[in-house]
Structure 1
Amino acid sequence: MDDRSGSVLVLTNPLDATADAVLRVLAERRVPVVRLDPGTDLHTGASLTAAYRTGGQRGTLRTVGRDVDLSVVRSVWVRRASPYEGPSELDGQDRRFAASQALWGAGGILASLPAAHYVNHPWANRAAEYKPTQLAAAQRFGFLVPDTVITNSEDEAREFVAAQACGAVYKPLWNTPYAVGGRPHAVWVREVDPADLTDAVSVCPHLFQAKVPKAFDARVTAVGNRLFGVRIDSPDLDWRRRQDRMTCTPIDVPEPVARSVAAYLGQLRLVYGAFDFAVTASGAWYFLESNPNGQWAWQPAGTTDAIAHALADQLQKGRDT
C-alpha cells in the first residue's frame, strides 16, 4: 500500500498545463503529489471515503495504484477541476442528482481535510469571485477604485454612464459561457455610451464603471506575502482579447499597493490572488478586479518560473502549526 503520507493533493483537470509547471518543481524536490479531477475521476475508477465519529475523522482516496490517507494530506491546491456533471451514462434528472450529490459530498470531503493547507480553500475562492465583494474589500483596504455602479435599472445606468467625464465601460459580473450562432463568444470589457442602454438592462444586474485614463495595465500575482508585478501594454481596452498583441515586462509594486494586497488577502482568507490594475500617467494604480484563481503562466518566463516556485513553497510547507 502506498499511503502517500504528507502528499500534496492537486485538484485540476488533466489538460491544466499551468499546474504542470508547479508539479515539475515539486517533483524535483521529491514532494509526493496526487493529482485528482474529482468531477470526472470519481466515476471513472477513483473512490473517496470519509468517516466521522466522536473524537476524530479519517478518510481514504483510492486512485489507480495508490491509496492516500486523507488525514495527513499536507496541502490541497484548488486549481481548475472539471465541474461535477455526473456520469455520462446517466441522463436527465438521474445525472443531475448524481452531480449534485458529488458536489455536496465529494466537494465537502475535499474541502474539510483536517491537516491540510489550502491554496486557496474552495469556499474562500467562491466567496472572493463575486465582483461586489472584490470592490467592497478593495475600497475598505485602501485601493483606488474607479466609480462603479451595479444595477438592473436602465435609468440608473444611463445617469451613471452620462456622468463619467472620461467615459464608461461595461464588464460582465461573471465569465458566463455564451454563444452566438452556435459558436463560443467571449464578452469583453467594452466602452458604453448612454445611447447604447435599453430596457434590456432590467433583465439582470449589469456592472458599469468609470473608464480609467490609463497609461498601461498591471497584473500583480500574490502568493502568500510574495508579490510578482508585470506591466501590460496592449492596444486593446481589455488586454485579454488579443494577448498576442500585448507586451509584458516586470514592474515593481508600489508599497501602498502591496499593503492593500496583503490586507485584502487576509480579509478574504486567500493565499493566492491575481490582481488587475489600470495605471495612469501620474502613477495612480486603480484596482479593477482580483481573481482568486487567475492564470499566471502567460507572463514573462522569469516571472512565471518565480510564481511556480512560490506556489511550490506554499504547497510543500503545508499548514502552519
Structure 2
Amino acid sequence: MHIIKKSLQLCLFGCMALLAALHAQASMPKAAEPKHLTVYMEQIIGDGSYRNFKNAQELNRVSAWIREQMRLFGIPCQYQNYKVNDEAYRNVVCSLKTAHAGKVIVGAHYDVFEQSPGADDNASGVAGVIETARLLAAEKARLKKSVDFVFYTLEEPPFSHTEDMGSYVHAKSIEKLGDNIQGIYILEMIGYFDQNFVQQYPAGLKWFYPSHGNFIAAVGNLQSRELTAGYCSAMKSLNLLQCERLISPSFVQHMDFSDHLSYWEFGLPAIMITDTGSYRNRNYHSEQDTLAGLDTGKMAQVVNGLVNTILSE
C-alpha cells in the first residue's frame, strides 16, 4: 500500500509539473521569425531607388507598402502628412487599440542617408517594428494598453535635429496626451553584430561596457530609465542577446542621433534600442550597408524582448 501511495504521489507531482510547463508554454507569445524580417527588409530596400528626401516617390512607395503590410495584420493605419520646402512627406501611424486608457508607441524611421541602401540604417528597425506588430496583434487579448506603431520620414540629414523630422511632427501631435503615453520604444539599427569587432564608444564609456560588438543597447534618459531596465530585464529573463543600458543626458555625443530625441523634447518617456550604429557598424551611411551584413537571428531576439516587455507591462 505504501508503494502504491508513493507512486500516486510521484505521478501527481509529475502531472502538476507537466501542467505548469504547458501553461507557461501557452502563455508565451509566438517568437519572431528571422525569415519574416528578411522579407520585410527586402521590400523596404526595393530595387535600388534610394529612399532619401530627394526621392519622395520612393518614400511614398515604402510608406504605402508598410501601410498595406500592417493592414494584413488587422492593424489600421493612416498617413500623417506634412510639407517641407513645398514637398509632401508622410509618417505612417498604425493603431492596435484596446479598451485600456494607456498607450505605448513603437517606432522607426524608414528614410535613408543619401545613396545608402540603408539595410541596418534603418530597414532593420522598420522590419523590427513590423514583426513586433504582427506578434502583438496575435496577442491583442493579453495587452494591458493600446499600441501605436509609427514609421517616420526625414530622420536623416539634412533634417536631423530639426522640427522637420517625422518623429518631431508626431511627438508634437501627441504632446497633449501626457500621462496616457506610458513608453516609447524607438528601433534604430538593430541588425549588426560582431563578436570579434572591438566596440567603440563615446569618450569615457568604454571602461563600463563590453569590448565586443555582440549586444543590444537600450539608451534612455532619467525619465525613461525604467523603460531601459524593463527591456533589458526581459532580454535577460528570456536568455536572449546580452542587453546593456545607457542612461544618457541628451548632450552625450551621438546618443541623440535618432527619433527618441523628438519625444524627449516634449517630456515624453522614450528609449532607443540599437546595435549602437556608427560605434559598431563600419558600413554606416555607406553603400555597403546591405542585408549581407545583418544577423536576422539576433534581430529576432531583439523583437522577442520588446514583445515580452510590452505584454508584461
Tell me which interval the TM-score lies in, with the shorter structure as reference length.
under 0.3
- TM-score normalized with structure 2 length: 0.25
Greater Rg over alpha carbons, structure: 1
Higher relative contact order (CA 8 A, sep 6+): 2
Greater per-residue strand proportion: 1
